[in-house]
Amino acid sequence: MLMRLGHAPWMQPHNRFVHRSLSMKGEHPWQVSIQSCRFKDCPGDTVGKHFCGGTLIGPRWVLTAAHCALAVLNLSSDRVQIVFGTSHIDKLAHPAARTKENDIALLKLKGRVQFSKNGPPSGLYPGIPGPELCDIQGDHVDQCVVTGYGRISEGGRSSPKLKAATILFVPTEKCQKQIPQKVIQKTMMCAGAEGRDACQGDSGGPLVCKLKGTPDNKFYLMGVTSWGIGCATPHTPGVYSEVACYMDWIKNVTKHV
């Protein structure tokens, strides 16, 4: 069983390729790369090593997975940087880590994101779902896209460029039957498609979906990439922390800034 939750695999990878396309410039502007640095304070010319993704949800906040935040704590914040687009945002500060069953965390930046004189790009932040969408069963979800710099195959190399895959929402009952060895909690959601999935290194990144009946046709941040059994394993969707279920917590933490 190959987990994407930071555990070492005990089963030989099957080298399944994860079919994803390159994300066009500006298509997913909220995606960030969380990187470790060799040197303290991450000098601006340091090329960091990507280990997790995240989503910029405000000028000073990044939403990611709790197991990514725990990795940040183990590294110490002065050896971590967030890369946004082509520029460095800043070091991480005050991550609010949760448990594995609540695999979601907020990372507070030292300062607000700085932009050029032209200001932030259009559609910088994804839409944020309301708490009433917690434990959705597909009635509201249309097209979903998962993005990241993770591996292009099980045990393979990471992608140097942001990649995206269009996947489908999988109802909890069906997901539980497809992953019987794990309990799919109410605060989790499943999504996948044949040959398309997240993989190691995509953890913490966004699952964005379009919602049925919304006139704006924008993407909403519905999930945080959490765990899965291998990468693109047939009939086995990926599992995501369901953002709507944590909206009260997110609002409570971020309202003080």
Which residue out of 33, 36, 67, 159 is catalytically annotated?
67
Tokens 């070492």 map to which residue? Answer: 8
Asked about 241 being catalytic, the answer comes back as: no
- For the CA atoms of 53, 95, 210, 112, the dihedral, rounded to the nearest 10 degrees, stands at -90
Which residue out of 23, 203, 226, 241 is catalytically annotated?
203
Asked about 88 being catalytic, the answer comes back as: no
Asked about 77 being catalytic, the answer comes back as: no
Which residue out of 28, 33, 36, 103 is catalytically annotated?
103
**Mind telling me the catalytic residues?**
67, 103, 203
